Structure 1
Amino acid sequence: MNTKVPVYERILDLFEAEGINTIFGIPDPNFVHMFHLAEERGWNVVAPHHEEAAGFMAEAVSRMTGGPAVCIGTLGPGVANLAGAMMCAKVEHSPVIFLGGQRARITEQRVRRGRIQFVPQADLFAPSVKYSASIEYADQTDEIIREGLRRALTGTPGPVYIEYPSHVILAELDVPEPLPPSRYRLVGQTAGADRVAEAVELIRAAEHPILLVGHGVHTSRSGPAVRQLAELMACPVIQTSGGTSYLDGVADRTFPYGFSPSAIEAVVGSDLCLALGTELGEPVHYGRGRHWHAGEAGRKWILVEQDPTAIGVNRPIDVPLVGDLRAVVPQLVDALADTPRTAGPDLARLVEADAARIAELAETAPVGRTPVHPARLIVEATKAFPADGIMVRDGGATTIFGWTYSQAKPHDVIWNQNFGHLGTGLPYAVGASVADGGKRPVMLVTGDSSFQFQIAELETAARLNLPLVCVVAVDYAWGLEVGVYKRTFGPGSRETGTHWSRDTRLNIVAEGFGCYGEYVERDADIAPAIKRAYASGKPGVIHVAVDPKANSEEMPSYDEFRTWYAEGTQ
């Protein structure tokens, strides 16, 4: 039975059929009806202070739910503000639906100059998204929204842009109930049985297999199935730098690629790599250079990949399994269930060595300095990280210190490794907490430069009363760039454009936004301050003054990080 509904209501219906119940953005006349109705229906309707932040928040929701997410931009300037988030979502493979307001289409067809808040938006954004379209006529609503969702979620996930001109807002449609996703797009694609059998044969024959786990395992929410597979294979789990969420139950044998000696040893000695949720890109040396080179001749490769055009691009693959991780990994689990491998002594030795490495780092990170050494900040903050929490990372030098010195192994970690976009941390933290319903504690570990990009979203966090603590490493500078100056021109060189006032107090800024704030300059005070911030019942900001010299000159594993640029240049 068909019912008459306005376009804005039909769009909500179509999104609800995909499980979407959250929208971010600052509404203009195109969207006030949609926002009003969404709130009536019980959606999370979040208005941040900048549309770019809305896009990052939506991306975090997508990462936490494994599904698509939605944000909007007001016509003209608001849509322009989405550009950074849109590009980030493209490179991070996040299925965010960006809706843009627009004036009535007749405006574009007229020969005029000096029109207010008007630019041909869909054409400008087309290169940054998988699909760009405009709802020109009301009865196109279903096909365009569904095509956007289809493109966003099919093959390699990614963002789409759909324009919503004012002349179609209130038009009524006579439409049936929305279709479920399986009726209009491919859902749960499995790999062919013959290929699964080939993969299982290689796994059973391998003496030293490894799992290479990437970003896609987290964003598809495939962790439980991947854990089962890791247990059946009884092998090391090697994380890419983008796949830094730890799998419950096997976290002790999850080692970061390139930054853990156990990971490097496991890679070098492996005779089979089963890669999940990774493009095999520069941060893993395409799976064929650096740490992979030594054993290349005797190593077999299995790759689970949703996009068939990605197979074999960065390196040859022996058995490609084309399909959705959420469907293919259970196929492998079922096929291996009767013949689990038995872990050899090497696995226990690698686990023990990695645990000893982490403990040694906690002991050897410089203690008692004022300002705090950034390595010690990471140790103290991650020791205080709640076991059930959501970890968010941001910043340059701070993140590099974090790769090496972190003492926490959380199963939800959010940062953007592929694009390297600074300033995402606070919006990611807000979006992740909104997706979680504010149940679990969230910790953002960031540098001061990154934190100030979207600092106004502290008010959003306070308004939503989110359980978020931001631990900010403050060196009053662009620390990573200061290091670049020093390496380029030598110590004592002029570091143009990288420093600002030491009178800056981010804890006081936080209090002005209605948050909890503390200033810390001794490492012994970091963990107690974090605990007080969580106990306050408000979002918190811990301003930790860190040693600027150490922050720019002593970044651990920096030489390893530089090898990511495979062609030798940035």
Structure 2
Amino acid sequence: MPVKVYERILDLFEAEGINTIFGIPDPNFVHLFHLAEERGWNVVAPHHEESAGFMAEAVSRMTGKPAVCIGTLGPGVANLAGAMMCAKVENSPVIFLGGQRARITEQRVRRGRIQFVKQAELFAPSVKYCASIEFADQTDEVIREGLRRALSGTPGPVYIEYPSHVIQEELDVPPALPPQGYRLVGQTAGPDGIAEAVRLIGAARLPVLLVGHGVHTSRAGASVKALADLMACPVIQTSGGTSYIDGLEDRTFPYGFSASAVEAVVKSDLCLAIGTELGEPVHHGRGRHWAPNDADRKWIMVEQDPLAIGVNRSYDVPLVGDLRAIVPQLVEALASAPRTPPPDLAGWIRRDAERLAQLAESAPSGMSPVHPARLIVEATRAFPADGIMVRDGGATTIFGWTYSQAKPHDVMWNQNFGHLGTGLPYAVGASVADGRRRPVMLITGDSAFQFQIAELETAARLNLPLVCVVAVDHAWGLEVGVYKRTFGQGSLETGTHWSTNTRLDKVAEGFGCHGEYVERDEEIAPAIKRAYASGRPGVIHVRVDPKANSEEMPNYGEYATWATEGAH
């Protein structure tokens, strides 16, 4: 039976296991949105296309699959630009679809055309692949090429548009191919590389497993757990890989912020790096904490993109392919010769637990407004064990990563790009991907929260189990700190403060959410529990001390080492 172009696009996405679309259903795409809903897809219409892009990125992170976001021609597609760039830097395979005027309109020599701009050439630098479906019978090849590019090498976004006159045309095509019919799936490493990796692991005295963002976005936690058990070694988190793998919580230490992680790295004679680009936050695997023993340390790198091999540092064994295929290869090869835990491991575990307990004890309490460190301690103690954690904001994220008492299995934040305002859309997208089952907690600063605050209505409409804990200092707290460090106390902090009267709990109630106002630390956990119990998305407005928020950011010096130009 002939199918319309928009039907075929859905068929091609369904073959990849995609069943969710984010976007505003405008006239260009109304047929596609309508059919997707008829087929049982999740069709989510947020209030801003940039939010739609962030929501799609969250779905990709939660499912290990590409995700789809749509923008109408002109302003709708323009609104996607920030999300495109974010997905590029965060290595997220998001398929951005854009509408466009009929090509006869574009090609005419005219001025003053309504809602029109040549889009593709504007966005090409921000994506891995940029194309237009000019003719109906290009649909399969263009969509498949987009998926192929998004998922090959280092994952990333693509942009595909089609003119309005194409979407209603008909095609006579066979059933959509499965992914393995048109792209490389499950690429394994060669046996020689696996054998050499196993030899080095067996010979190592103190190996470490460096786990990055890609482990979690590929949903490979179970196989990495099996590998870590066989290696019997500590797991070091990168800043992008802060989700905890189930069963490895006690011996997983954040790089640079845990004394156990630092000591394990310094003493290590082998590092197996998985799902990380070895970027600035880990000092490229050769600076700072890696430097003392660099000459004697062996490196095994699991990397999907062959062009990444040897860029940030040299490797002894590069294993090129899909980590979802390579890690099981290593597990199978090591199964007959598991390692015994090194003598230092028990001490590292004990000292890291003591670190967390000491942080909870030392966070100032009894203050009103609340100290931001105490906010994090109280909020993360109230975090549901099976929940999804989302982080946003500048100073709030720095306090959050340092003082968190929770060890969530799913964590989202915009670590590479540092794009504020992603938190609420990430939370919505993650919950949609999860089927709205597990509780979600967003911990954010007030300035970051207000970027996309309209999506509270989307959360309320979808009745998501989401609680937003907002640290309110009525300022760009991180920037205030920069002013003070640069120009001294009492300096003119230009543009960093805003109204002191905004009540975000009341704003939330206006959107149909549960709202709570808190100004003492002992009120935080009960407010969170009431918000979850309300059966509606909740916003907890927590007054935090602005002086502490701008001047007492923990480990700021360690963060500063990430982007020290020329240092590595």
- Shorter-chain TM-score bucket reads over 0.9
Describe how 1:32-51 pairs up with structure 2 within 5 A: 32-51=30-49
2:348 is matched with: 350
2:211 is matched with: 213
2:170 is matched with: 172
User: What amino acid does structure 1 have at the position aligned with 2:177?
Assistant: L
Q: Does the CA-based 8 Å contact 1:285-1:566 persist in structure 2?
A: no
Q: Does the CA-based 8 Å contact 1:28-1:75 persist in structure 2?
A: no
- State the distance in 1 between where 2:499 and 2:565 align: 38
Q: Does the CA-based 8 Å contact 1:379-1:405 persist in structure 2?
A: yes
| TM-superposition CA deviations, 1:452-508 (whole Å, max 9, x none) | 000000000000000000000000000000000000100011111010111110000
1:512 is matched with: 510
Describe how 1:11-50 pairs up with structure 2 within 5 A: 11-50=9-48
Cα distance, 1:82 vs structure 2:
0.0
Q: Does the CA-based 8 Å contact 2:206-2:342 persist in structure 1?
A: no
> What is the aligned counterpart of 2:417 among 419, 427, 452?
419
Q: Equivalent residue of 2:172, what SS?
A: strand
2:240 is matched with: 242
> What is the aligned counterpart of 1:185 among 172, 183, 186?
183
- State the distance in 1 between where 2:24 and 2:64 align: 24
Cα distance, 1:345 vs structure 2:
2.2
- State the distance in 1 between where 2:343 and 2:378 align: 32
1:194 is matched with: 192
Q: Does the CA-based 8 Å contact 2:94-2:158 persist in structure 1?
A: yes
Cα distance, 1:30 vs structure 2:
1.4
User: What amino acid does structure 1 have at the position aligned with 2:558?
Assistant: E
For structure 1, the 5+ residue unaligned runs are: none
| TM-superposition CA deviations, 1:281-314 (whole Å, max 9, x none) | 0000000000000010110000000000000000
> What is the aligned counterpart of 2:104 among 103, 106, 116?
106
| TM-superposition CA deviations, 1:149-185 (whole Å, max 9, x none) | 0000011000000002101011000000000000100
- Normalised by the size of structure 1, how large is the TM-score? 0.99
> What is the aligned counterpart of 1:526 among 524, 527, 540?
524
| TM-superposition CA deviations, 1:514-538 (whole Å, max 9, x none) | 0000000000000000000000000
2:552 is matched with: 554
For structure 2, the 5+ residue unaligned runs are: none
- State the distance in 1 between where 2:276 and 2:55 align: 23
> What is the aligned counterpart of 1:441 among 439, 442, 452?
439
User: What amino acid does structure 1 have at the position aligned with 2:172?
Assistant: D
- State the distance in 1 between where 2:129 and 2:455 align: 29
- State the distance in 2 between where 1:568 and 1:276 align: 25
- State the distance in 2 between where 1:230 and 1:512 align: 48
2:381 is matched with: 383
2:368 is matched with: 370
1:289 is matched with: 287
Is 2:318 the partner of 1:320?
yes
Q: Equivalent residue of 2:500, what SS?
A: coil
- State the distance in 2 between where 1:529 and 1:185 align: 49
Q: Does the CA-based 8 Å contact 1:239-1:254 persist in structure 2?
A: yes
> What is the aligned counterpart of 2:487 among 466, 486, 489?
489
Identical aligned residues as a percent: 84
1:395 is matched with: 393
User: What amino acid does structure 2 have at the position aligned with 1:351?
Assistant: I
- State the distance in 2 between where 1:164 and 1:355 align: 54
Q: Equivalent residue of 2:162, what SS?
A: strand
- Normalised by the size of structure 2, how large is the TM-score? 0.99
User: What amino acid does structure 2 have at the position aligned with 1:169?
Assistant: I
- State the distance in 1 between where 2:300 and 2:290 align: 15
Give the alignment's Cα RMSD to 1 decimal: 0.7
* Number of corresponding residues: 567
User: What amino acid does structure 2 have at the position aligned with 1:378?
Assistant: I
| TM-superposition CA deviations, 1:123-172 (whole Å, max 9, x none) | 11100000000000000000000000000001100000000210101100
Q: Does the CA-based 8 Å contact 1:211-1:274 persist in structure 2?
A: yes
| TM-superposition CA deviations, 1:192-228 (whole Å, max 9, x none) | 0100000000000001000000000010111000000
1:54 is matched with: 52
Q: Does the CA-based 8 Å contact 1:30-1:164 persist in structure 2?
A: no
Is 2:541 the partner of 1:543?
yes
